[in-house]
């Protein structure tokens, strides 16, 4: 089961480091934006979220309902899910494009080479104007 939800998780740090090495400059957890996106690229009007599959209720192989306090978790995860949707709606309304990187793209059986993920991020930042998700291999 997932531990405490936190900022600056390992997958997030890996992505930050790799994009920085490619010359991208970004802000972190900008409190002025809805949902405090993990990475904010003002120049591209783009934000990246790195989402833990448990906390954000991803339908994937990393996600498992805890066996205890089922009601509590169901309510909590459902709330996180609807919060995420509302946040993305609001960002989109303000002209931000959004990339979601799910934990399962970087961890577990379905993980992808980090280079591929960073290539996708780079291409998306520069050339793609719609929202995108990166998930584990098994989830696509
Ligand atoms: Zn997932």
Which ranges of the chain have pLDDT less than 50? 1-3
Neighbours of ion ligand 1 (CB under 5 A): 53, 58, 60, 62, 102, 104
pLDDT tens-digit readout, 62-98: 999 999 999 999 999 999 999 999 999 999 999 999 9
Residue 9 pLDDT:
75
Residue 2 pLDDT:
46
Give domain status of residue 134, yes or no.
yes
Q: Helices 10-21 and 114-127: crossing angle, nearest 10°?
A: 60
Query: What separation in Å is there between the alpha carbon of 104 and the centre of ligand 1?
Result: 4
Query: What separation in Å is there between the alpha carbon of 62 and the centre of ligand 1?
Result: 6
Q: Any idea what DSSP says for residue 31?
A: T
Alpha-carbon dihedral angle through residues 99, 30, 18, 104, given to the nearest 10 degrees: -50
CATH of the domain at 71: 3.40.960.10
Give domain status of residue 31, yes or no.
yes
Query: What separation in Å is there between the alpha carbon of 118 and the centre of ligand 1?
Result: 17
Query: What separation in Å is there between the alpha carbon of 21 and the centre of ligand 1?
Result: 26
Give domain status of residue 2, yes or no.
no
Residue 138 pLDDT:
78
Give domain status of residue 22, yes or no.
yes
Q: Of 76, 26, 70, nearest to 48 (Cα)?
A: 26
Give domain status of residue 1, yes or no.
no
Q: Of 29, 137, 127, 140, nearest to 87 (Cα)?
A: 29
The token pair at 113 is: 């080479």
Residue 7 pLDDT:
66
Residue 140 pLDDT:
61
Query: What separation in Å is there between the alpha carbon of 128 and the centre of ligand 1?
Result: 23
Query: What separation in Å is there between the alpha carbon of 111 and the centre of ligand 1?
Result: 10
Q: Could you list the residue range(s) of the whole structural domain that residue 42 is in?
A: 10-139
Residue 30 pLDDT:
87
Residue 46 pLDDT:
98
Q: Work out how many domains the chain is built from and give that number.
A: 1
Residue 3 pLDDT:
46
Query: What separation in Å is there between the alpha carbon of 25 and the centre of ligand 1?
Result: 27
Q: Any idea what DSSP says for residue 49?
A: E
């Amino acid at each position: 089961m997932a531990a405490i939800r936190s900022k600056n998780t390992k997958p997030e740090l890996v992505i930050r480091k790799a994009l920085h090495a490619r010359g991208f400059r970004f802000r972190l957890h900008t409190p002025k934006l809805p949902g405090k996106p993990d990475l904010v690229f003002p120049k591209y009007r783009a934000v990246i979220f790195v989402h833990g599959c448990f906390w954000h209720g991803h339908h994937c192989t990393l996600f498992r309902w805890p066996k205890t306090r089922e009601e509590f978790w169901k309510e909590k995860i459902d709330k996180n899910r609807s919060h995420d949707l509302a946040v993305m709606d609001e960002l989109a309304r303000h002209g931000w494009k959004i990339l979601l990187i799910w934990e399962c793209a970087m961890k577990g059986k379905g993980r992808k080479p980090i280079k591929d993920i960073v290539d996708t991020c780079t291409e998306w930042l520069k050339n793609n104007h719609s929202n995108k998700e990166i998930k584990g291999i098994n989830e696509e």
